[in-house]
Each structure stands twice: as C-alpha cells, then as structure tokens.
Amino acid sequence: MRKICVIGTGYVGLVTGTCFADLGNQVTCLDIAPDKIEKLQRGEMPIYEPGLEELVARNVAGKRLTFTTSYPDAVPGAEFIFIAVGTPSGVDGEADLQYVRMAAESVADVMTNYTIIINKSTVPVGTGDSVAEILRERGKQPGVDFDVVSNPEFLREGSAMFDFQMPDRVVLGSTNRAAAEKVAQLYLPLRCSIMITDLRTAEMIKYASNAFLATRISFINEIATICEKLGADVKEVAAGMGMDKRIGRAFLDAGVGYGGSCFPKDVKALTWMAEINGCHPQMLRAVMEINRDQRRQAVTKLRDLLGTLRGKTIAVWGVAFKPNTDDVRESPALDIVHILQTEGAHIRAYDPVAVENARKISHGIQFCDSAYTAAENADAVVLVTEWNEFKNLDFERVAATMKNKILIDGRNIYDAERMQAFGFTYRGVGRGYGSS
C-alpha cells in the first residue's frame, strides 16, 4: 500500500484518486474548494461520471479514500503527490498555470520527506522544470529531496473509469528515470504498456495526441461540407476510409465539432506555444477555424429552411459537450444557442444531466424535463449531443406536437429516409442530396 495525495477533485483528480484507492493504495484527495470537499464527505459527487459514485463509496467505506482541504494534513508522509488542477485558457490561448503554481507552492511549504511530485494536469512543455524550481526555492525543510514526473492523463469524460482501468498506455517523463520507474510501479496492476521518456517529451505527447484527434474531427467535418455540395454521404465516406488500416475509423464522425475541457484548450495552447517559439502552426489554426464553422453551419441550415429565425422556437436536444457527462465547457450546443438567440430565436432545451451546469453560464433558455416537452410547438429541433435516449424516441409523438417538422441532426444519428417518413424535413451533416 502506497500513500498518495491527489490535488484537485475535478474529472481527472477525483477519478485518478479513486481508482488508485481501488488498487489498494491509501489516497487523500485534496481541494481548496470547501464546497466540493463537503459534498464528497457527504457522499455526493461534484461531477457526473458513470460508475464514479459507487467506486468512491466503496473505497471510502474501505478507509482507503479520504477528502480534505488541508495541505498540512495531506502532504506530509505522502510518497506520491499528483497535481491534477485546472489549466484553463488564458487571454491569448496559453494555458493558465496559476493553479499549478499554487499547488506546487503549497506542497513546498509543508513537504517533510522525499516525495515524487507528478504533474497530471495538462501543462505546457517546460512546466515540469518550473514546478521543480518552485519546490527547490520554496521548500521549508532543509535536506528534503523530491523528483518531478510528468504523467499526462488520457481520460475521456464519460468513460474515465474505463480509461484509467484499461489504458492504451501510461506515459511517464522525468529527468530521473528511477523516479519515473517508481511511479510506473503504481500502474503495474493495470498490466498496460508503460512508456518512460524525458520530462518535456512526455508533456508534448499529451498536446500532440489531443491536437491530432481534434485534427481528425475537423478533417472529416471539412469533408462533410464538401460532401453536401457534391451529393456524397460522409457517413459512407468515413466508413470506407476507416477500412484502411493506415487510417482507422475512430474520430471520423462528422458533426457540429468538438468541445469540452481538453481539445479546444489544448489546441489553443499548442498553437500559442508554437507561435511564441517562431513556428507557423497553420494546420492547428485551420483545425480551430473549421471547428468554429461547424456550429455556424447548423444555424445556416435553420435559416435556409425557416427564412428568418426571429420569433421562431427552436428545440435543442443535448447541452453537454458529449454524452455521459455534465460538462458544458466549450459545448457546441451552447455556441449554437448563443447564435440563435442573437438572431431572435426562442430556445427550449433538454439534457439528461447537464442542465444545472448550463444554467450557470447561459441565459434566456427554457429548460424542459424531456426531449418531448422541448419539441412541443417548436419550429425545429436541433440534435446536438448524441445521448442514447435520443436515438429511439417516439418520432410520431414528436412530429405530432411540433409547429414545423424540421429536424437538424448535428451528429448523424438518425436515418434520413425514416425521419422523412415521419414527415420531417431532415438535415444531417455531410449527407449530400439524400438529406433534402
């Protein structure tokens, strides 16, 4: 049993801490937000992640997992400290490292024994060196040594538990290979591939991975736009492409673009890092531009069909940036809603779990208790988040209550001919003339 401290109880920190506790370690999750810790101590989750609540409860009951706001309680005696705090985008797209610095300073103030500090947050290349410098300069106890290891996370919201327990790979980077190997020991029960490299390379692997996946999404969305003009079906195009082993099928689903807390932020940050170091990241800029355009295309389709959006009622199905999460950061749905509202449309929206988070950052939306309620008397429905419950709705019921039977399928989850049979004017993404 290892003693571990995880700083941050967001999607990464809480999942990481809980899963390490489930592997038999003694874990303390630390957060400076008292409301989050109080919730966790009551057994309430500050985030929605399938399976997490049950795993937290099991490990709290087994006395392997505790929660605190106190660095003096959590840090002394810990062998491993994972920093898993937020790194939001700054004014120019750079990663804001204030929470990483605060965590490193607070650790330095109370650290009493040799400790391995692991950067789990997504941080710019060179941050590991900066954290080491903070620990050296601020450390209060003379002779207390440490090492810094980069361990980028690859957890997908909505399937984070599975991704931790069944990872494709674990990446570790450090200037001290022995320290990285000690962290690797924590992951051995998972029986996964472990890559050990230098500190800066590990940090870069995270950004390069997310930027590549975002690029695949923007690529297929650009192909979808061309398909619409030429009468091809992007779903069939993607299927044909995916049969090529060199390409594969993953992340080739056309839609309204990517969102969330990772892809938008990480592509911006990588672009910023490239620019300030004299590079010309034109592909990354194009990825962001295409992603932005996808939201606008959904609105354009509505405008083409309705003539004007002023005074129209639009139902939006799904406000989370993806299914199985309540995260609305950089949500395509909320971007679409904003554009619709500026053109005078009234919005009725429904999401299975993300409504409360959407209320905090959006205004003027009428939130409904079901997809059916949202569609009542609507001039059009826009499907944005492909929750499973939207896939098998009673579309006779939906059509019967709508004012105008217009369906914009922002994720291509419906069959065009079937929707047309229900009387809908259907528009998918990149579905060619077959969607008219």
Single-letter amino acid, residue 304: D
| Each residue's pLDDT tens digit, 35-45 | 999 999 999 99
Q: Are 346 and 353 in contact (CB under 8 A)?
A: no
Q: How far apart are CA 429 and CA 16, in angstroms?
A: 36
Strand order in the sheet with 313-317: 365-367, 346-350, 313-317, 380-383, 406-409, 425-427
What DSSP assignment string belongs to 152-188?
---PPTTSHHHHHHS-S-EEEEES-HHHHHHHHHHHG
Six-digit token pair at 387? 């929750």
Q: How far apart are CA 381 and CA 399, in angstroms?
A: 10
Lowest mean pLDDT, pick from 62-76, 125-139, 333-347? 125-139
Torsion of CA 360, 366, 369, 370, to 10 degrees: -120
Closest CA to 293 of 218, 381, 385: 218
pLDDT, mean over the chain: 95
Closest CA to 67 of 14, 1, 126, 137: 14
Q: Catalytic positions, please?
A: 262
User: 358: Cβ–Cβ under 8 A, 6 or more apart, which residues?
Assistant: 319, 328, 331, 334, 349, 351, 365, 367
DSSP label at 348? E
Single-letter amino acid, residue 349: A
pLDDT at position 434: 45
pLDDT at position 1: 86
Q: How far apart are CA 346 and CA 365, in angstroms?
A: 7
- pTM of the complete model beyond 0.85: yes
pLDDT at position 138: 87
Q: How far apart are CA 407 and CA 415, in angstroms?
A: 11
H/E element, 116: strand 115-119
pLDDT at residue 435 is higher than 70: no
What DSSP assignment string belongs to 361-399?
H--SEEE-SSHHHHHTT-SEEEE-S--GGGTT--HHHHH
pLDDT at position 92: 87
pLDDT at residue 292 is higher than 70: yes
pLDDT at position 436: 41
**Within the chain, what is the greatest distance between any pair of CA atoms?**
76
Closest CA to 297 of 250, 251, 253, 335: 335
pLDDT at residue 433 is higher than 70: no
What DSSP assignment string belongs to 317-345?
E--SSSTT----TT-HHHHHHHHHHHTT-
Side-chain-side CA neighbours of residue 107 (13 Å): 37
Residue tagged 């401290």 (tokens): 5
* Residue % of the chain over a pLDDT of 70: 99
What structural domains does the chain harbor?
3-197 (3.40.50.720), 232-435 (3.40.50.720)
Within 10 A of 230 (CB to CB), how many other CB atoms are there? Answer: 9
User: 426: Cβ–Cβ under 8 A, 6 or more apart, which residues?
Assistant: 407, 409, 414, 416, 419, 420, 435
Within 10 A of 147 (CB to CB), how many other CB atoms are there? Answer: 20
